[in-house]
Structure 1
Amino acid sequence: MSTSNPIVFTAPGLNPDMSIEVFKQIFHVKSFVLKVHSDSISGIFKYHWVTLIDEDANRWSLTAKENFMTSPDNKPYAGTSQDQVDAFHVLISALHSEPVKITTAHQLCLIAELADFYRVLPLMSNALNGVFFDNPELAMSILILLEAAYKLQNKLLFRECFVHVMGP
């Protein structure tokens, strides 16, 4: 426990998001600044994350490779892993401000789940604007899309789905 007040580092628009304790002295810093100015001792990548399948084998998440332990008790993923890879690819594309393409309602639902899990729903919702009008298959899955639109809080998709559900 610290015996003195924390030493706080700030920058315009950057509030501290990391606390470091060095011999009972607390420092409040922005992790981004440390990441930008630190070389990796493990090679080209500073971070290496891998898939961790939950105990029930129906869900997955990412974990740092150094924290991952294989075990004979590890079960294979019960779902279709390629669907998850495709959904994650769309999510990462959106995070990098690249255009995204949705091919099925099922894919959109998976993307909504991932965006919710990784707490990027607003970003994902914005990235999806305009991708619905060039895919006629999506119009066939309105009820499924309505739930995803609600989760993503995508007003355009929600309005279009709601109109289709209510009928003329």
Structure 2
Amino acid sequence: MSELALTILSETADDAQAIERLHERTFGPGRYARTAFRIREGRSHALDLSFTARIGTLLVGSVRLTPICIGDTPALLLGPLTVEPPFRSRGIGRTLIERALRDAKAKGHKLVVLVGDEPFYGKIGFKRVPKGQMKMPGPVDPGRLLVNELVPGAAEGVKGLIRPDWEDSVPSS
């Protein structure tokens, strides 16, 4: 079987329904109870930092970044990252993350956090958050709370509760 060409594209508003169906298939209804989902709930992800993976016209993966704060420090929350099961273990997730991180860094962002498996995300530059430095507002295994410093040393001295980005949550007048 020949390899099919993968295309990474910026997410558009037109992708929302297909991405939601992908999330339903890969995460199921339990996704709504997860702490990271609760932080993102009712907030807009950064469309300019969110990407889709396609093979031809078929959407096979998606990654989103959402503005958050850690204490008073602006940061981004990575996720959800999802890839259709038949297309996993082909580097699509890693390619999506690398693109999102590269664009976030180019736009001046310094920190990205996520809840995930260190063996996978560690290969992309994420490391475990030191105990007690950052806290999610709900149950999360502290060993799965990871940070990527887009700027070396950016996490030094950053501590506190991870919460939705204040400016994003303030209604405009």
The TM-score, its normalising length taken from structure 1, stands at: 0.32
Higher helix fraction (1 or 2): 1
The TM-score, its normalising length taken from structure 2, stands at: 0.31
The structure showing larger relative contact order (alpha-carbon pairs under 8 Å, at least 6 residues apart) is 2
Considering only CA atoms, is the larger Rg found in Structure 1 or Structure 2? 1
